[in-house]
Amino acid sequence: MSGVILSPQHPLSAGLTSDSRLVRAYRGERADATPVWFMRQAGRSLPEYRDLRVGTRMLDACLDPAMASEITLQPVRRHRVDAGIFFSDIVVPLKLVGVDVEIQPGRGPVFGRAYADAAGVAELTAIDPARLDEASAPITEAVARTVAELNTTDNGSGTPTPLIGFAGAPFTLAAYLTEGGPSKDHLAARTLMHADPGAWRALMDWTAELTGRFLRTQVLAGASAAQLFDSWAGAISLADYETHVAPASAAALAHVHDLAYETADASGGADAAPTTRSVPVVHFGVGTGELLGAMHGIGVDTVGVDYRIPLDVAAARVGEGVPLQGNLDPALLAAPWPVLEAAVRDVLRRGQAAPAHVFNLGHGVPPETDPTVLTRVVELVHGASA
């Protein structure tokens, strides 16, 4: 394997997280218990988060290293999950390179203008994505702060808790950029895709470069895995995904694929050469049951599955040897405990169809969720799968 070897101080290289439940599952191995974390575990469902965020806008919180780190750590302390997910937003890299965007409460990201035609795309792509490297100091510091505490945080598994890096997929960024904000059908993106394929490719190449650099920054700063999150890929057909979207997602992930770490081979004795492994990569999309095989095909280790498709069906679609992540319906978090418990056990049972399974939700934690329920689910997953 050729590429960039992470520094000896990186949690993977130092052997702190390389044998954690999460990292082992991402490379297809089952540990003493099924690892569990929740998308959107850091944030709105936690009273400590709401207290901390009083008077601070979302993007300001993301770019305050101390605050972003604390928010990332809150659910790890409370729920004893097997991973932290870096607190950020998909538009953070856009903000860092100078795109006019703010997150409006109750609406989402809103841009100063829409980039829905060739002229708009040309204006946007004139911004050099390499600017991100110069503007990423708050991200690097936030990750480093978080990892420093996680390196001493054992959730009961016997190893420090790894951090997962996070970024929005190129198509999801493009969907927001072409609309100038949120959309129910992402019609502007789908229209540009077919009406002006050249402008679409330019936009996707640019968002891929930006997202890839953002993920790479987090991994180099200490994240032990990287997740590419495609909120809106479920809005397009398989044919359009394969032709117009998958190449850009693959290009984004190429920024992480060349990052590797070396670990001692426990079976080879003291004089054995170290084993070189790549940094684990996860790809999750919403409403992407028909795209799962193609999503795996862009070069990911683990495929995240949303709540619309059972894990055993997903395992058949992605093929043998692919670890899965997911996929409890978030709505069940508000159900009576016997109903929720049965659903959790069903997800664990169906997850046995994959070589390894990371328990998660099939989307994010709803803001109304009782945090004690999440803690109880973590305890159930660990106990039932041990």
Residues of the chain with pLDDT below 70 are 1-2, 265-272
Enumerate residues 6+ apart whose C-beta is below 8 A from 58: 89, 103, 105
What pLDDT does residue 263 have? 83
Q: How far apart are CA 22 and CA 221, in angstroms?
A: 19
Domain CATH code at residue 151: 3.20.20.210
Print the domain residue range for 304.
4-385
What pLDDT does residue 3 have? 81
What pLDDT does residue 125 have? 98
Residues within the annotated binding site for substrate?
40-44, 89, 176, 231, 363
Facing residues of 325 across strands?
304, 358
Which 3-state string (H, E, C) describes the chain?
A: CCCEECCCCCCCCCCCCCCCHHHHHHCCCCCCCCCECCCCCCCCCCHHHHHHHCCCCHHHHHCCHHHHHHHHHHHHHHHCCCCEECCCCCCHHHHHCCCCEEEECCCEEEECCCCCCHHHHHHHHCCCCCHHHHHCHHHHHHHHHHHHHHCCCECCCCCECCEEEEEECHHHHHHHHHHCCCCCCCHHHHHHHHHCHHHHHHHHHHHHHHHHHHHHHHHHHCCCEEEEEECCHHHCCHHHHHHHHHHHHHHHHHHHHCEEEEECCCCCCCCCCCEEEECCEEEEECCCHHHHHHHHHCCCCEEECCCCCCHHHHHHHHCCCCCEEEEECHHHHHCCHHHHHHHHHHHHHHHCCCCCEEEEECCCCCCCCCHHHHHHHHHHHHHHHC
Residues within the annotated binding site?
40-44, 89, 176, 231, 363
Tally of domains in the chain: 1
- E strand residue ranges, 189-299: 225-230, 259-263, 275-278, 281-285
Question: pTM for the complete prediction?
Answer: 0.96
